[in-house]
Structure 1
């Protein structure tokens, strides 16, 4: 008997993001509990909305980012010259792809796909280091090719929720290499343990990216920042258009770096950790569903047979969850679930039980 040909290889859709799960042809869908997007619910808080609204009186003037830049620098105890404000962390990936010279860029997957997409759009030939479920999606620095001169890794990683030890990431830094650590979700980790933000300017080639859109509910405002050595910041800034960050976004950046805001974010991180533990415990009621752990981000990655049909069944019952097959290294049996309050989790679990009663896991 002739062997049937292998199915054609399908490249993951690097441009698919969680917001696609909650959008229809005419805009956002109503009536769906959103577990597909990792923005914290109940945000932005009223005090932050007021600060942003107050900035609107200054819209006639061109944006001036000096105060916000100083606030970010003070928040991380870094010189102002090591800070660059960006229109979300996503803009930073584009700037890096355009401004950083690299002969062999490597992206550690599975992770947020925008860094690779930006590098490819800029004409780079990108290599992948694929972490595996068997190793808990944990990074072995030795897996990264020695000749890689640009390495991109997330910490904690989206979508696996794995928090890599800072010591492991430090082993990737070396002269002649740019090491990009995407810490977009680090402020959701209690104590921001394993962050490398404080090592910027010390470790050779280190670039740390941060986002303010997740914890503070500012995805529509687009605000993030780069922490890097002064010469790297200068190079990235030259690749930016004039006035890339709006006045309201600058006001938000300054406000979110104030001591009271940092205290609020720290409390939110502790609350997320408790809600995540509840979610993982409830998911543990379903075998052979497997969750990647220990999880450290405001989301969890789960594997279960027939995930696409399960996702559709949950959607029919009012829950949007993120497909996993668009992340390199994952496949059709993976889903990502955002951490929500315990009541929402319990309703999700009831819906999941209904779906699996109709379609038992294999």
Structure 2
């Protein structure tokens, strides 16, 4: 069964370390950041550029909010636009008052960091390698009044069934599901975005990953109107810029959704190619699967040394020891096109031999 752990402020890995630190200013081929390569597309850049003519006016998020609501079949009062999913985690930590917050790890570390920065006591439920890093609802303490889980989970690439996640819902509990990578899953199967029948459900989405908008900072929260109102009151005025609002509206249009689905299909094929190449190495002890996100998690003995050797050979990989529940033998690898993957696999073979 997954283990429950309550860390101290000085306990464990660096929660503020993210993949961009692996590539910033390095010139390396990037397998450390989970943003889709070759983005944003030209049509999206044109829409963002056109919004610059309106910069003299304060941002008006009503049209973008309505577009997001329509995309998920919800009324606008169930939508809050944010400066990326990271802002949403900060708003949740500051505006909600959990007595017993629990974060399911390994996963994106910003939710726990935001909760701890806001002064909350945070418990960790650590999913286990031998269970495939899959969720056991019984591992969540019954008195937890805020639970955070990613789906598909960064960094494990595990896609948890909605039938399992919804078992965590309770009256009086906020169930926060980070779906930042769900649009990279073909058909968005197991998505909870748009559901209104799950008590306390809060879904976070990001436009960063599929559309390559990390520098623009745009995402959104889907929740009941009362929770949305509480979070909105915690936001500063005009939190999302006009260019980001233009991007949010554009990415919810039918042609954009169709493009995202095509990209998800390509990612699935490219991921299968990467996994097949990785499993050919005896030194790669575990490729977590079935992987469903635009990245894979692997365990390689002495992975720290392998990662440094890969850097010498021109490739950046994401270290795993900054994720609670993992350690120095883990690497996360972003899915790239086949030519990039083939070049990486050659470099990995050299790094392993070295």
> Is TM > 0.5 for Structure 1 vs Structure 2?
yes
Q: Distance in 2 between matches of 1:250 and 1:10?
A: 39
Q: Does 1:149 align with 2:145?
A: yes
TM-score by length of 1: 0.94
Residues of 1 paired with 2:189 and 2:303: CA distance? 32
Unaligned runs of 5+ in 1: 1-8
- Match of residue 266, structure 1, among 232, 247, 261: 261
Deviation of 1:206 (Å): 0.4
Between the aligned partners of 1:296 and 1:79, the Cα distance in structure 2 is 30
C-alpha distance after superposition, 1:254-282 (max 9, x if no partner): 00000000000000000000000000000
1:222 pairs with 2:223: no
Q: TM-score, normalised by structure 2?
A: 0.96
Report the equivalent of 2:7.
Answer: none
Q: Name the residue aligned to 2:54.
A: 58
The corresponding residue for 2:15 is 14
Decide whether the 8 Å contact of 2:283 with 2:352 is kept in 1: no
* Unmatched segments (≥5 aa) in structure 2: 1-9
- Structure-2 residue corresponding to 1:172: 168
Q: Which among 195, 198, 206 is matched to residue 201 of structure 2?
A: 206
Write out aligned runs for 1:90-169 (5 A).
90-169=86-165
Picking from 224, 240, 244, the partner of 1:245 is 240
Matches within 5 A, 1:325-336: 325-336=321-332
SS at match of 1:270: helix
Aligned equivalents of 2:283 and 2:315: distance in 1? 21
Q: Secondary structure at the match of 2:342?
A: helix
How big is the shift at 1:92?
0.2
Distance 2:252 2:220 in 1: 12
Distance 1:12 1:250 in 2: 35
Q: Which contiguous aligned blocks of 4+ residues in structure 1 show a shift greater than 6 angstroms?
A: none
Aligned residue-pair number: 344
Q: CA deviation at 1:10?
A: 5.7
SS of alignment partner, residue 168 of structure 2: coil
Corresponding position: 1:89 with 2:85: yes
